[in-house]
Amino acid sequence: MQTIQLDEEPVPETAVDEYGWPIGFFEETSGAFQGEPLVREHQGEYEVRLELDD
């Protein structure tokens, strides 16, 4: 079995805010979704369970 060595490029470090999100992340991605509007489908009925005795 032959091992293939991939050329790895260093990943640049991104500055993050106090919560760990990349700075400017929300400003760059807010409103970016351009597909069909998202629709929440019917979630079905709640399961009815027997009550527990105390």
pLDDT given for residue 42 in this prediction: 94
Report pTM. 0.41
Question: What confidence category does residue 1 fall into, taking pLDDT thresholds of 50, 70 and 90?
Answer: low
The dihedral through the CA atoms of 19, 22, 24, 27 has a sign that is negative
Mean pLDDT of the chain: 86
Find tokens 């993050």 and name the residue.
16
Residues 6-26 have pLDDT tens digits of 777 766 678 999 999 999 999
Cα dihedral 23/25/26/31 (nearest 10): 150
Residues 26-54 have pLDDT tens digits of 999 988 888 998 899 999 998 999 998 87
